[in-house]
């Protein structure tokens, strides 16, 4: 009986993580679709004057435009990262204390796949969020997922987890 309950809990976590991943990717793709539809032909849409605007940009590189026109390279990296994160996700123990780590995995993989889909179907990544106050590079929702995921992971590693918390990744003898 207890084993059946554990299996059901595992299945629920996998289903929840998968649903979260799909929802996040859909949100990213919907916002990029809207950016293409409503911002592409505009110079920009100022939401907070002098601070924040929506500004359409076709990014053919990575962060800050580095490695311009290396789409295949980025697709391969995104696929490798997504498979690695998926492998880690499946190995994460099914305990409450690891729930934040599961959320980080979903955020990181959704961000990687969101931008990968752009590269595959458009040949570039659609960016549209721009903080003009600090002249920060234009970015998108998938970029937010990755940045938030990395920030939370770093925070978790300094506050909640120790090195031995990741022993589940070691091969079993």
Secondary structure in 3-state letters for the chain:
CHHHHHHHHHHHHHHHHHHHHHHHHHHHHHHHHHHHHHHCCCCCEEEECCCEEEEEEEECCCHHHCCCCCHHHHHHHHHHHHHHHHHHHHHCCCCHHHHHHHHHHHHHHHHHHHHHHHHHHCCCEEEEEEECCCCCCCECHHHHHHHHHHHHHHHHHHHCCCHHHHHHHCCCC
135 is catalytic: no
77 neighbors 116 (Cβ within 8 angstroms): no
7: tokens are 């299996």
Catalytic residue among 28, 118, 135, 143: 143
Catalytic residue among 28, 118, 127, 167: 127
143 is catalytic: yes
- What are residue 128's phi and psi, to 5 degrees? -155, 0
Tell me which residues are annotated as active site: 127, 143
């Amino acid at each position: 009986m207890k084993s059946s309950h554990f299996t059901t809990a595992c299945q629920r976590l996998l289903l929840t993580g998968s649903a979260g991943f799909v929802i996040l990717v859909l949100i990213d793709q919907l916002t990029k679709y809207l950016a293409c539809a409503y911002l592409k032909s505009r110079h920009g849409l100022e939401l907070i004057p002098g601070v924040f605007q929506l500004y359409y940009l076709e990014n053919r590189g990575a962060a800050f435009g580095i490695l311009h026109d290396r789409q295949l390279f980025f697709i391969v990296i995104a696929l490798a990262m997504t498979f690695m994160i998926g492998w880690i996700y499946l190995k994460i123990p099914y305990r409450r204390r690891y729930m934040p780590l599961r959320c980080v995995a979903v955020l990181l993989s959704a961000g990687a796949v969101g931008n990968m889909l752009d590269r595959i179907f458009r040949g570039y990544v659609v960016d549209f969020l721009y903080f003009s106050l600090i002249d920060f590079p234009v970015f998108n929702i998938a970029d937010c997922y990755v940045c938030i995921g990395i920030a939370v992971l770093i925070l978790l590693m300094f506050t909640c987890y120790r090195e031995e918390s990741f022993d589940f990744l070691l091969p079993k003898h």
